[in-house]
Chain A
Amino acid sequence: MLQDHCSADVQVRPDGYATIVLRGRLDAESTPACWSKLEKELRSARVSAGQVDAAGIDFCDGSGIALLRYLSLGGMTQGAIVTIHGLKPEFQRLFEGFTADDYKTFRPKPLPRPRLPEEVGCAANSVLRDLREQVGFLGSVTAGMAGTIWNRKRMRWPEVKRVFELAGANALPIISLISLLVGLIIAFESAQPLAQFGAQIYIANMIGLLMVRELGPLMTAIMLAGRSGSAFAAEIGTMKVNEELNALQTMGLDPVRFLVIQRIMAGVLLAPLLTVYSMCLGVLGGVLVMLSLGFPIKLIYNQLISSLDVSDILLGISKGLVFGIIVAFVGCLRGLQTRKGPSAVGESTTRAVVSSILLIIIADAVFSVIIYVLER
């Protein structure tokens, strides 16, 4: 009668010779229990050699063959060789289909442990290579821009308009919400400490300067990086994976001129506009808080005007412009750097956002130093 499970009996002679008798069904369901039982009994005994009596095995699939092969390799007997006897011919063919030599040849070899100097060298090399690619890409974009900007057909203005709409007009709701809330939050947070000095009126000065000089451009740029820079990288990266970039090249079209210039142009036009919009909404948030605190609108207006200069607004817009170029430039570069494989587009998108934000913060710090020197 056929058994629906496997039984395993182990006998070890005093001289260390083990006899293992297997009976029943060895499949993916029954093998795990049999495996643990054998492993427990054989590991606790000092086995020098052994044999498996497999005549009682009624059914054996890949799992059973794996158990027999592991036993024959000495996997449970500290390397002591175990021979298999009595296996039915149909199972014997399966057993011989994957030999001990096959296992030794094909099993994965442990990877060499990385060494610190090697790792540091690789990382430094990767940073330098990336820097070189960025400089090269900057040159290609500049040359492409010079050859395209005055040529209406080559510029492909409908594409610029499409990107402008996707990255700009469609971003207005999220930029409105975040800018307004940040303005509200800063005004609320500062109202209490300033009240202790009777200086709540200066909330207007603070909100004006903060939103126009710093937070408006910075928040807009970070939102652009997360929303549009990542989209540029994903779009171009997918085109690269689908070999659309190769198709462009074989048609004699430069991908930089065909895809990148339009996105950078859209970024250049878009970022200052979104920055001004974000500044206005942020200031509006602060004004709403001041109105709720009982300050008349005329007083708030006068305070804002007295604290802000045209140069502050120009500084904010300039920052927006530079940040916009950075976001579009990095998004397109990371898209073009996309490698092979299903996770490549995701990696490019992540790299686009991280690199954009890093470069935006560095550019902001450079702006601060320059302004400090100029205004001293």
Chain B
Amino acid sequence: MNSDGDIAISVKNLKLGYDDLVLLQNINFDVRRAEVFIILGGSGSGKSTLLKHMIGLYQPIEGEVWIAGRNLVTAEGDERLAILRNFGVMYQSGALFGSLTVLENVQLPLEEFTELPQPARELIALSKLKLVGLAEAAEKMPADLSGGMQKRAAIARAMALDPGILFMDEPSAGLDPITSAELDALIKNLSRTFGITFVIVTHELASIFAIADRVIMLDARAKTIIAEGKPADLRDHAPDEWVRRFFNREPEPAGAHGS
């Protein structure tokens, strides 16, 4: 049993969708501190939509998202900004600003949200870039980086303000297996060394088994969480046959759906 002090994020009774269309409902889960937490599901199950609700980009139909002891759903103004400073986000494409160098991209949150002088900002940005193995590319433009390098630069930018939580949308998508494995090792290292909590949306089974402490699985037909636990347990012992097939990469029998 974990005390409230161990909880980094708490999602309560979340119901989300667009207009009259409900995508997900009865979403309840807690993410513990320094945990690598994976949101999983088939295509169109609402994984990325759930992530966007958790980071406050979308407003849910009902429910609460508690981060650092505050409800992001109802927070406004300075309170909302205070919550946003507790986490960094890495988007699927990296979302680096193309007109700035990699170093300037990482320095940007420090410039906007702190009073730190220029040498401090430069030192912090370079140290974050070194952490993700990109210090040598500090002066390059994002367009000159490969996909994997862009994602690592995006992680460095998300970490600039030393947030306790990092949200990632499909970090391994489009990467070769070696780069993907390097990214997994980086995530694991950041979680273990700095106690950062990771909430990651991904499809990549290899990544999930390598880094996940806990997984929730969403289903488009049930419109809710259909499984929760450690990936190996779900693969071998999930009560839902579809969940086991998902982890074992088994095709669905024609005309059937396990959930």
Contact = CB atoms under 8 A, between A and B. Distances in A.
A329 interface: no
Interface string B134-169: 011011011100000000000000001110000000
Interface in A1-38: 27-29, 31-33, 35-36
Is chain B's interface secondary structure helix, strand, loop, or mixed overall?
A: helix
A97 B127 contact: yes
B119 interface: yes
A102 B130 contact: yes
A340 B114 contact: no
Interface in A53-99: 61-63, 65-67, 69-70, 75, 93, 97-98
A367 interface: no
Contact of A342 (B116, B126, B130, B143): B143
Given A62-B124, A66-B120, A97-B130, A106 B99 contact: no
A108 B120 contact: no
Interface string A322-342: 000000000000000000111
A342 B116 CA distance: 29
B98 A66 contact: no
Interface string A175-212: 00000000000000000000000000000000000000
A343 interface: yes
Category for how many chain A residues contact B: 20 to 34
B103 A108 contact: yes
B137 to A, nearest CB: 10
Contacts of A102: 126-127, 130, 135
B19 interface: no
B104 to A, nearest CB: 10
A211 B36 CA distance: 71
Contacts, number: 88
A59 to B, nearest CB: 11
Interface in A98-144: 98, 102-103, 105-109
A341 B114 contact: no
A106 B120 contact: no
B73 interface: no
Contacts of B138: 106, 108
Contacts of B129: 106
Q: For A63, A65, A343, which residue has the most chain B Cβ atoms within 10 angstroms?
A: A63
A107 to B, nearest CB: 7
B143 A69 contact: no
A251 to B, nearest CB: 23
Contact of B136 (A28, A63, A75, A106): A106
A341 B141 contact: yes
Interface in B154-213: 160-162, 193
Nearest to B97: A342
Nearest to B117: A35
B123 A69 contact: yes
A97 B129 CA distance: 11
10 contacts: A28-B161, A35-B120, A39-B117, A65-B124, A66-B127, A97-B130, A102-B135, A108-B139, A341-B141, A342-B143
Interface of A: 27-29, 31-33, 35-36, 39, 61-63, 65-67, 69-70, 75, 93, 97-98, 102-103, 105-109, 340-343
Given A62-B127, A105-B135, 6 more contacts: A31-B116, A62-B124, A65-B127, A67-B120, A93-B193, A102-B126
